Structures are given as C-alpha cells and as structure tokens.
Amino acid sequence: MNKVRHKPMSNSQRALLELSEKIFAGGLAPGSDHLESELAEKLNMSRTLVREAVLMLEGQGLLELRPRKGIRVVPLSPEDMEEVYDVLTELESLATDRAARAAYKEDDLKHLSEAIDDMDVAIANRDLDAWANADDRLHTELVRLGGNSRVETIVHMMSDQVRRARLTTLFTRPLPTKSNEDHRLVYDAIKNGDAKVARETHRDHRMHAKSIIIELLRRHRLRFL
C-alpha cells in the first residue's frame, strides 16, 4: 500500500502560520506597531515573505499595513465583536438548517459527534484549551455540513476574530457546560432532520455565547487580539 505523502509547507505558508501564531500567543500585543524588518528578524525570514503574510492577515482583520508607519496589530472592541457575532450567528444558523435538510446518515455526522464527545471529556477534565480546540472543530464541521462554499469562506474569514476574543475570556467565563448541551441538541436535530429546531437552537446558542463574551469584555474593559 502506498503511503500518502503530504506536500511540504511552502515558505509563504510557514510565514503566515508563524506570524498568526505570534498574534494568538500574545507575542505581538494588540494595538502594537512593528516594522517589517523587525518581524522578519523575529521570524528569521525575508521581508518579502513577511509582507506576503501581513497582506494575508490584513485581509483577515488581524493586521493593518500602514504606509510609512509600519504594521499594526489590530485590536478589537466589544462593539466589533457584537457585529462579528451577529454575522456568524446568521450564517452558521443557515448552515445548520441546510445540514438538517440534507438527510445525512449517522456516519456522515461522525466528526461532529466526535467533536462534541471531546468537548464533554475536556469539561470533565476542566481542560479549557482542549475544549476550545474541540469547539473550533465542531463549528468548522457544522458549516461544512451546510454545503455552501461561500458561507464557509466568510465564516472562515471571521472565525479568527472570535477565536481571539474567546482566548482572552476563556478562563474568566463560567465553565461552558451549557454550550456542550446546546451542541448535543443541535446534533440530534440535524440527525433527525429537524431543520427548525437545529436552526433555532444554534441561533440561541450563539447569541448566549455572544452575551457572555461581550459582558466580560465590557466588565473588564478588555482589549484583545
């Protein structure tokens, strides 16, 4: 049997990955300014590769390239996150509705089920990092099951902003047990082909998550990656 060979990561892809990881890890603080030469030194890469990565991340709303002023890490406000959540709530609810109408078999939903199971284990172990990773997988799979490539593209562009907000508030919010319960209800509704319940349950879930994060951001006056 031939082994699957994975294509090596290009220098451009590596630059994009490493720069985004520095943003998410807090190595590049929100609102901070940087020169291309500084980032090139941090990443041990050419300025050309850094500029390519910056342009990609600018399109995702993470960085801002300002002429003669360098590169700024874009901070997001609670107001920004309200707008992001409003858009994601509608698009993901649409995807959930479409998934429920697609008459998927249980095997088609195994990745969704696995993500929920992993979230349950993470909560039991109080491992919030593992929970967040499984939650990312679940939302990605949910949108994929909706079968609309344009929805996938838009959600992908905005999901990093939600990820930044969540990483900042993750350890100050209540243990997300209700989130897991909501996901299980959505899964059951999709499996049973109940589009109305799937859509409404997911919308309520997203709006509840939005209220928690916005409240935390405002209470602590957080500005985050």
pLDDT of res. 31: 79
Query: What are the pLDDT digits (tens) for 140-199?
Result: 999 999 999 999 999 987 877 777 777 767 777 778 888 899 999 999 999 999 999 999
Q: State pTM to two decimals.
A: 0.73
The answer for 31, left when phi > 0, alpha when psi is -120 to 50, beta otherwise, is left
pLDDT of res. 221: 58
pLDDT of res. 224: 43
Residue 54 and residue 12 in contact, taking contact as beta carbons nearer than 8 Å? no
| CA-to-CA dists, residue 172 to 108, 132, 135, angstroms | 35, 14, 17
Low-confidence stretches of the chain (pLDDT beneath 50): 1-6, 222-225
The phi, psi pair for 51, rounded to 5°, reads -65, -40
- Reading the block at residue 218, the tokens are 């405002």
> What span, in angstroms and rounded, lies between the C-alpha atoms of 149 and 202?
20
pLDDT of res. 7: 62
pLDDT of res. 25: 66
> What span, in angstroms and rounded, lies between the C-alpha atoms of 94 and 45?
41
